[in-house]
Structure formats: structure tokens, C-alpha cells
Amino acid sequence: MVVLSFGQAILLLMDHYRADEAITENLKKIYIKGVETAEDYQKIMDLFHKSGLGSQYEISTDASVINEDSSRRYFETHLAYETLFVSLDQLKLADITAHYNALYSMLSEELRNKFDGYIAGQIVPKNDNFATEYMDAFAKIKTSESYSHFSDTQKDTLVLILKCSWLGVMMAMAKFPALPLNLYGTGFFSEKDRGRITKQGQVAPMSEEFLKRMPYYSNHFGLMKSYMPVPKGDVIFAENGFNFVKPSDQNTFDPTASWPKKNFSTLVNPFSCSISGTTLSQLRCMKSLKENGQMEFDSLEKFSTFLKCFTSSLLFNSGGHVYNEFLAVLKIPEINDNFNFIEGFETIDAITLLWNGNERAFNKAIEDTIDYTKLILAKQECHEQIKESIQLK
């Protein structure tokens, strides 16, 4: 019998019950946010057995199966793409430009010279993994077929978002004393609780040895691991791929650590790089800007639009984090308390950010993922039949 991830079971149920709008909407909300209660879990299991799918498939809730669920990784990558296509037009270029300028003005002279050197191409980023990743993203936005349907203004906005992300990371790594909310080493951000394990024996990014072996480490945008199947005509297939090890391929997890336990308890969210330090870095900068009267995104609508574009741009390009890893930072009590100047900040979650008002992008990603899942499962079923045939001989 073919084994399904819990997420794949939900996708098949969406397809099976697509004529029932109430059921499918509830399934979509559980799929994006994950299982939160025993009732959520039981609801899926009851529908699964009632549908007759239980005679064909077996559901697994094992963390390794959830993590290797190519359907979920495909979905989030497509959702990021479709979301950007809509939401970049909602983010005012003047606002993101002002935010970038404010962050840039916070840099020390040393960091400013370093950043400018990278942007101008005067410093080769091969010894800095972050610089390698961001400079590659800027190049892909200009040249990749996957970005060809974005307007010039959307591309300019996207580049500014990624520059803002990079500046936030640079300042956090330099341990700027002026940045508030230094939560590194505490809670889920402590090394033992993050549960992130860097895979051993990987070739260094941009190394000569690597380039001799193969032109690209991966041809897949977003969360898709290098060995997961992606059709060549798909928007998440990169013809000119990644010549460094993407975050989605860099790490595995410690199943006994606190963050992986919480993450996998939702039964749908894979693990990419643990709870997001990139999000924390940006929020720390935003809090500093607020204290100095320079915070551009100080309303729920403006902040949510920025966050939607920020997380989606980072997820789509290199799969640095799954959405759950990005958004979990907002639920940390210290973050919630310090951002209470944004009325409704505590209401932001996967549903309010990625479903409400984003239904068109969400539904497009879902339909594409259902089609993809059917192909993946048909391949698995064929494999199982071949195995059974061999065993009978």
C-alpha cells in the first residue's frame, strides 16, 4: 500500500470533496496552518475513511515523512510565487525604498563599505554564504525565466525587499548594540532547542572542486530539495540553477529538540532551517526604526503586506525557511509585546496572511499541487506494484 504524508491526504480530500465548498474551505485552512487540535486531526481521519481513500493509501505522521513531503514543499514554493505576483503591487515602492534607506543609514562605515562592495561586484562573495545567496537572487531576478512575468516595478520592489533582508542579517550578525530584542540563545533560538543539524560532507559553495563536479547543485527554486522531481516547464525549475548548497538542502533536524517537535506536531510543516533568524533580524531593525520615528510599516495592513512579500521572496528563491518557520517568530511573547503599536499584530498567522485576501493565489497553488501530487503518487504506486511483482517470483 502506498504511504501518504498527512498533508498529501488533505490534498486528496480537497480533490475528492471539491464539490462541497464548506468541507474544502475547512481543509484548506487546516492544510495551511496545520493541525492545532485533536478535533482537526479526527476530522481529517474521518473524511479520509469516509471517502474510501483508506483502501488505497496509508497515512503516516512520522516526522521524516512530513519533512520529505515533496507535495508540501511544491505547494509552499508555488504559493510564494503566486503570492508575490499579486502582493508586490500592493507594496508601495516609495515605502520599501524609504525602509531600505533607513536600514542602510543604520550601517557602520565598515558594513556599508562591505555591502556596497558586494553590490558593485568589487567583492566576490564566495566566502560568505549570505552574500552568495543574496547576490545569486539579484542575478536570477534579472535573468531567470521564472521571473520573466514580473513587471520591472515588481522586480525593483523584490530586489529592495531582499536588500532589506540582507541588511537586517548583516546588522544582527555584527551584534549591533543598538538593536533591541536580542533573543538569540533563548527559547526556540537556543542551539539545543532550534534542532538544526547541518549535513556533513557537503562541498563548499562556489568551490573549484564543486564546479568541476557539476555546473549546478540544484535546479529547483524554493523548498524543493535537489533530488525531488520537478517538471522542466514548471515555474519553480531553474534552467540556470544554483551553484551553492541551498538552505533547503543544507540541514536536517534533531527530532528530540523543542522546535522540531512543535513544528512537526502540526503534521504538515516540513523543516528547512528552523525558526527564522532572518525574520527576527528584520523585526529587531523595525523596532529600532520605530523608536527613532522611521518605521514605515506601522499599520496592520502595511506591515502584513510587507511581511507577505518578505517571507514569500525569501521562500521562493532559495527556500531559506518554510512559512511556519518565518511566522512563528511573531508568536514569541517578547515580539508580540514590543509590536503592540501595530493594532491587530497578534492576529497575524498563516490564515490571515496567506489565505484571507489571497484566495486567488492560494487556490492556484493548491490546484497545481493536487495535479503534482497525483503524478507523484501514481509513480509511487507503480513502484509498489513492481516490488510486489518481484517478491511473487
Q: Smallest Cα–Cα separation from 268: which of 54, 61, 79, 80?
A: 61
Q: Which residue has the cell 572542486?
A: 209
Query: In the prediction, which pLDDT does 203 show?
Result: 45
In order, the DSSP letters of 54-103 are GGTEEEE--HHHHHT-HHHHHHHHHHHHHHHHHHTTTS-HHHHHHHHHHH
Q: Are strands 218-220 and 237-242 parallel, antiparallel or unpaired?
A: antiparallel
Distance CA 308, CA 310 (A): 6
| 241 φ/ψ angles, rounded to the nearest 5 degrees | -80, -155
Number of H helices, E strands in the chain: 19, 6
Query: In the prediction, which pLDDT does 316 show?
Result: 98
Q: Given its phi and psi angles, is residue 348 left (phi above 0), alpha (psi -120 to 50 degrees) or beta?
A: beta
pTM for this predicted structure: 0.95
Tally of residues, the chain: 393
Contact between 243 and 291 under an 8 Å Cβ cutoff? The reply is no
Query: In the prediction, which pLDDT does 206 show?
Result: 47
Per-residue pLDDT of the chain (393 residues; tens, 9 = 90+): 899 999 999 999 999 999 999 999 999 999 999 999 999 999 999 999 999 999 999 999 999 999 999 999 999 999 999 999 999 999 999 999 999 999 999 999 999 999 999 999 999 887 899 999 999 999 999 999 999 999 999 999 999 999 999 999 999 999 887 799 999 999 999 999 999 999 875 544 545 555 555 557 899 999 999 999 999 999 999 999 998 899 899 999 999 999 999 999 999 999 999 999 999 999 999 999 999 999 999 999 999 999 999 999 999 999 999 999 999 999 999 999 999 999 999 999 999 999 999 999 999 999 999 999 999 999 988 867 776 667 766
Cα–Cα–Cα angle for 113, 157, 85, nearest 5°? 145
Query: In the prediction, which pLDDT does 100 show?
Result: 99
Query: In the prediction, which pLDDT does 208 show?
Result: 55
Q: Smallest Cα–Cα separation from 242: which of 159, 317, 298, 155?
A: 317
Q: Which residue has the cell 573549484?
A: 208
